[in-house]
Amino acid sequence: MKRVDVRLSIPAVAPLLDLIKSVAEELRSHLAVPIALAEADAELAAVWREDLLESQREDCDRLFSLFDQEFFSEGVISFDRDNAEAILRACAALRLRFRRTHLSTITDETLEAIEASTNIGNWDAAEQKAFACYMFLDELQKIILKYLDPMVPEEE
């Protein structure tokens, strides 16, 4: 099975993990994207919402399992076909939550333009840290899609 090891800077990533974990904690009881079931019955909506929340919690737990003793001693996290899809979903959910909460005052146009530049100096410290988390999660998604895209069949 193909495995991708990624070496990260512990001093750069460790401070981001606290904020990412706090956002993941919010996702334990809030969906990253709220569902709207106009015509559905309340019982079905509640069951569906709880199933989605459980899946979201499991995906986030899978993401945080990467940041184990090996990461804090060697700075290495590993992706493979078994964890790639769950980690992609967790990163997406976390980025959506960051976008709706910590980065809500920033327009989409500004956020997209900022990705390619370093012109975030006029943001407050909390927005800068949230943006760093947002971009870190984006980079994790890009690595997975580049090397382990779940939609591309594995070579035999």
pTM of the predicted structure, to 2 decimals: 0.89
**Closest by Cα among 136, 141, 140 to 19:** 136
- Greater confidence (49 vs 20) lies with 20
pLDDT of residue 115: 60
pLDDT tens-place string over residues 3-34: 899 999 999 999 999 999 999 999 999 999 88
Q: What is the pLDDT of residues 83-127, one digit of tens each?
A: 999 999 999 999 999 999 999 988 888 887 766 455 677 788 999
Q: Which two tokens stand for residue 104?
A: 């809500």
Which residue type is seen at 33? V
Q: How far lies 35's CA from each of 27, 30, 53, 76, 99, in Å?
A: 14, 10, 11, 36, 17
Q: Of the candidates 26, 33, 23, 149, which has an alpha carbon nearest to the alpha carbon of residue 98?
A: 23
Q: What's at 146, amino acid-wise?
A: K
